[in-house]
Amino acid sequence: MKLVYLLSNGIEEKNGIYKKIISQIDAWKDKGVDVIVYCITSSKDSKNDFGVSRIYHYDSKNIIGRLFQYIQIYKKIYTDLLLDNPDLIYWRFEPVKPGLIRIIRKFKTVVEINTDILSEYKYSSLKSVKNFIRYLLFKRFNIAFKEIKGFVAVTHEIARRLKEFYPFISSIAVVPNSIDLRKFTTLENENQDKTPVLTFLGSPGYDWHGVDELVKFGKDLNGQIKINIIGYEAMPEIEHYENIIFHGFLDKNNYINILKKTDIAIGVLSLYRKEMDEACPLKVREYLAYGIPMIQSHKETIFLHKENKGPDWCLLLPNEENSLINNKELVMDFILKNKGKRYRDESVLRKIDSNCVEDERLAFFFKVLENN
């Protein structure tokens, strides 16, 4: 199968999404798929780790000007697709731009949906003019979905909401996020301090991560726990405390040293803010791969068959405001019980290993091709 992977993410950002894309492409190539990567980016640096075959640059900082650039970009992409002649396009969703619908009508396309689009875009639309325009564009151009041959949702909740909002959708698969386990190993716990260390790993700009709630919890237990927050700079709107350290962005080589001295990892804490209950964050997959006990307040897709609980070393809190504070005694019992420990569960690791998970995605691709 010849597959074009259509991306609109900046290839210069070495974040969790970047790593996910690499693991997907590596797994597909290992399984014999001919992968051609098309990437739309503002970066002028074409160097990358996932072998971009065709790069399309835009540079306008003006939203309207960028839309006109996208029209030209998609004209070029259409021409390149005619040359490459793929069996399938795999499109990582972003708001539909003018010119993309023509491509979707011509070439068989499967789209990956990573969030409850309408709810998230509506929620974000009040935060900036850019987000408001993004929401309007989605409302206007979501007709493109009628041309899509298949949908891949990363959670069951997203798949349900897609079908509720778009009743015409008939071909949809749930394939959770995964990581390349060849790049991970169980970490020994090197924290010799008597004070438990909690660590959150993420990217700024997503208030449903609940960093403010973690800080509030740390304030309440100052002197009893220490907290590392990786990926976030010190936040002016949040009062700082001596037991909480904001590390800003760190690459894997640097944040791994912090995780080695971490007793408890922190997942997503405030998913209720965008009216969702289920998620499969990439950071959670890293925690599981490293064997670090974990606290979160969202239903994890790979644990739904276990009544949402997961293994005993993963504490699931209610998905509601101030969940850490409101369950302080339970949380502290969990922290103290698991301080200094690491766990390895092969049944869990198989569910997050891209080498296994990508088999499900590829099987869906072939099913789409057979039916269209």
CA-based Rg of the chain, rounded to a whole angstrom? 21
Note the pTM of the prediction, 2 decimals.
0.88
C-alpha closest to that of 271 among 206, 216, 227? 206
Neighbours of 322 (CB within 10 A): 15
Domain ranges of the chain: 2-180+353-371, 181-351
Exposure of 119 by Cβ count < 10 A (0-12 exposed, 13-18 middle, 19+ buried)?
middle
Q: Are 3 and 34 in contact (CB under 8 A)?
A: yes
Q: Are 352 and 184 in contact (CB under 8 A)?
A: no
CATH 3.40.50.2000, domain 181-351, yes or no: yes
Token digits of residue 114: 């990573």
Domains 2-180+353-371 and 181-351 share a fold: yes
Neighbours of 266 (CB within 10 A): 29
- Give residue 242's pLDDT: 87
Query: Between the CA atoms of 46, 52, 57 and 62, what dihedral angle is there, to the nearest 10 degrees?
Result: -100
Token digits of residue 175: 């394939």
Helix (H) or strand (E) holding 85: none
Phi, psi of 115 (to 5 degrees): -155, 170
Confidence label for 19 from pLDDT (cuts 50, 70 and 90): confident
pLDDT in tens, 129-141: 766 766 666 665 5
Token digits of residue 182: 């060849």
Q: Are 37 and 50 in contact (CB under 8 A)?
A: yes
- Give residue 134's pLDDT: 64
Distance of alpha carbon 4 from alpha carbon 176, whole angstroms: 21
Place of tokens 């909480």: 244
pLDDT in tens, 271-327: 999 889 999 999 999 999 999 999 999 999 998 865 556 788 999 999 999 999 999
pLDDT in tens, 317-336: 999 999 999 999 999 999 99
CA distances from 138 to 28, 144, 268 (A): 30, 10, 26
Architecture of domain 2-180+353-371: 3-Layer(aba) Sandwich (3.40)
Using alpha carbons only, give the angle 11, 31, 15 rounded to the nearest 5 degrees.
25
3-state secondary structure of 34: strand
> What pairs with residue 37 in β-bridges?
5, 52
Average pLDDT, integer, range 43-69: 71
Average pLDDT, integer, range 167-181: 92
Report which residue type is found at 354.
S
- Please, where are the H alpha helices in 39-183? 63-84, 100-106, 117-124, 129-141, 156-165
C-alpha closest to that of 346 among 187, 228, 186, 230? 186
